Structure 1
């Protein structure tokens, strides 16, 4: 796992989400990158088990941001959230995008 590459990619993806919203995920090969980093899509289960929060609970993440410190678990959750937004979300996904942006910033901080 190259932390510098993860930090760079998460920063870039977060910037794209700010500009294009959910459509940024259609313009980026995020799934391949997450796999290359060793992350796995687990539907947020490891994140929920470790931190007691769902992967769409932006307020919970915001309140407990300092406690979220496991790069592997957070990376798996981010991968899972991207997959949810691109494959299963019906309609607007503002809540999921808000969580994703926060999680990407935290993942970048942890990998710098």
Structure 2
């Protein structure tokens, strides 16, 4: 399996976990020119890959009900980011949680992505 196929397989796993496809943000050929996980992460961050925006009350509530029923995780994230409770709503909490989940999912493949990008085969 070549580098491109290995990366595409990892990206499919990330997509299955997050509903986001990395190659919608950066072309696979550009990724293959990168030299490290950190370089890819920075580029994805610039492109907004980690900024998930969940709009509409019903959609946000559904996401929170499925992923954080007690709201403890999303409220913790909001607190860490300096949000005040009067500034919060379901859309913000859901968006913060979804963004954190996509970062964690991508970060879970650090070793594999780093190995592929730094290996000059």
TM-score (norm: length of structure 2): 0.27
TM-score (norm: length of structure 1): 0.29
* Higher gyration radius (CA): 2
Larger RCO, structure (CA 8 Å, separation 6 or more): 1
